[in-house]
């Protein structure tokens, strides 16, 4: 199920959007304030953020900027006022992917959401993944902490890249197996757990705190907190 975060302070609008999206089978979290909404988006990495531009504390432009710092490709759909070109331009400048002007027909909102989700699923994965000082360059297959290279085997590299690219999400062992080892390979028993152990030790050896959290009954989660430089 795809998860959407709705950041909107007008309760009637929010209730209308939320109900409609839930009926379409989306999982919707609703937050009224910008600050809290930005924090949630950064921590939970939903599949898409629906963001009202006019919010009581920090505005949608600022929320968008904050989310973009940690999630450069998370789809953000801005809700703006119909008559304000400035609003739309400000939203797009801050990194929103698209906007819908209020008042809108629900069918239009839904079409925009579907289109953004589809586009996101087709996009090639990010070439460089970062967590503070930790950097993974996928093309060169180099892992660094600051200037120091971290020596990872190909499997360890793929595992770290997979978890980091889903930062903040609990990832199931079976999905990790498919993504890292592929469906045709038969890895050693408990391969995921064994390799997570290798990774934790190698990262600890270069001073990186434990970023890979165990999620009971599911698998693992790369911590949403950023490594402090
Ligand atoms: Ca508003």
**Whether the predicted pLDDT of 87 surpasses 90:** no
- Model confidence band, residue 1 (pLDDT cutoffs 50, 70, 90): confident
Structure confidence at residue 225 (pLDDT): 75
Q: Find the mean pLDDT for residues 126-148.
A: 87
Alpha carbons 121 and 3: distance in angstroms, whole number: 14
Q: Which of 227, 87, 216, 82 is nearest to 150 (CA)?
A: 227
CA of 1 to the centre of ligand 1 (A): 27
What are the residue ranges of helices labelled H in 71-190? 85-93, 106-122, 154-165, 173-176
Q: Which of 72, 1, 10, 69 is nearest to 39 (CA)?
A: 69
- Model confidence band, residue 95 (pLDDT cutoffs 50, 70, 90): confident
| Across 8-12, 18-22, 167-171, least confident range | 167-171
Structure confidence at residue 191 (pLDDT): 92
**Whether the predicted pLDDT of 122 surpasses 80:** no
CA of 57 to the centre of ligand 1 (A): 10
Radius of gyration in angstroms for the set of CA atoms belonging to the chain, rounded to a whole number: 19
CA of 27 to the centre of ligand 1 (A): 22
Structure confidence at residue 192 (pLDDT): 94
Query: Distances in Å between the alpha carbon of 182 and those of 41, 126, 170, 174?
Result: 30, 20, 19, 10
**Whether the predicted pLDDT of 229 surpasses 60:** no
Structure confidence at residue 69 (pLDDT): 80
CA of 85 to the centre of ligand 1 (A): 16
> 145: which 2 tokens?
């902490």
CA of 10 to the centre of ligand 1 (A): 6
> 228: which 2 tokens?
């402090």
94 vs 77, residue with greater confidence = 77
125 vs 219, residue with greater confidence = 219
Structure confidence at residue 168 (pLDDT): 87
Structure confidence at residue 139 (pLDDT): 80
CA of 80 to the centre of ligand 1 (A): 9
Other Cβ atoms closer than 10 A to 210: 11
Other Cβ atoms closer than 10 A to 27: 13
61 neighbors 94 (Cβ within 8 angstroms): yes
182 vs 213, residue with greater confidence = 213
Other Cβ atoms closer than 10 A to 14: 19
Question: In the predicted model, what is the mean pLDDT of the chain?
Answer: 89
114 vs 92, residue with greater confidence = 114
Q: Would you call the peptide bond into 37 cis, given omega within 30 degrees of 0 as the criterion?
A: no
Strand (E) or helix (H) holding 188: none
Q: Which of 221, 61, 37 is nearest to 29 (CA)?
A: 37
CA of 51 to the centre of ligand 1 (A): 9
207 vs 76, residue with greater confidence = 76
What are the residue ranges of helices labelled H in 6-103? 11-23, 34-44, 60-70, 85-93
Angle of helix 106-122 relative to helix 11-23, nearest 10 degrees, comes to 60
User: What digits encode the pLDDT tens for the residues 18-72?
Assistant: 999 999 999 999 999 999 999 999 888 899 999 999 999 999 999 999 998 878 7
């Amino acid at each position: 199920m795809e998860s959407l975060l709705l950041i909107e302070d007008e309760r009637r609008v929010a209730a209308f959007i939320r109900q409609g999206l839930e009926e379409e089978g989306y999982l919707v979290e609703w937050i009224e304030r910008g600050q809290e909404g930005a924090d949630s988006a950064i921590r939970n990495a939903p599949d898409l953020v629906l963001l009202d531009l006019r919010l009581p504390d920090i505005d949608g432009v600022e929320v968008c900027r904050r989310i973009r710092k940690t999630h450069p490709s998370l789809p953000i759909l801005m809700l703006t006022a119909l008559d304000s070109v400035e609003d739309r331009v400000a939203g797009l400048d801050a990194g929103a992917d698209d906007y819908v002007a209020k008042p809108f027909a629900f069918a239009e909102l839904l079409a925009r959401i579907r289109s953004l989700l589809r586009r996101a699923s087709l996009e090639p994965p990010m070439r460089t993944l970062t967590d503070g000082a930790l950097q993974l360059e996928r093309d060169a297959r180099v892992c660094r902490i600051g200037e120091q290279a971290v020596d990872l085997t190909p499997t360890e590299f793929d595992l770290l890249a997979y978890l980091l690219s889903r930062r903040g999400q609990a990832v199931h062992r079976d999905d990790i197996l498919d993504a890292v080892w592929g469906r045709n390979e038969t890895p050693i028993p408990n391969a995921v757990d064994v390799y997570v152990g290798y990774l934790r030790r190698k990262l600890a050896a270069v001073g990186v705190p434990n970023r890979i959290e165990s999620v009971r009954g599911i698998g693992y989660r790369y911590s949403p907190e950023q490594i402090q430089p």
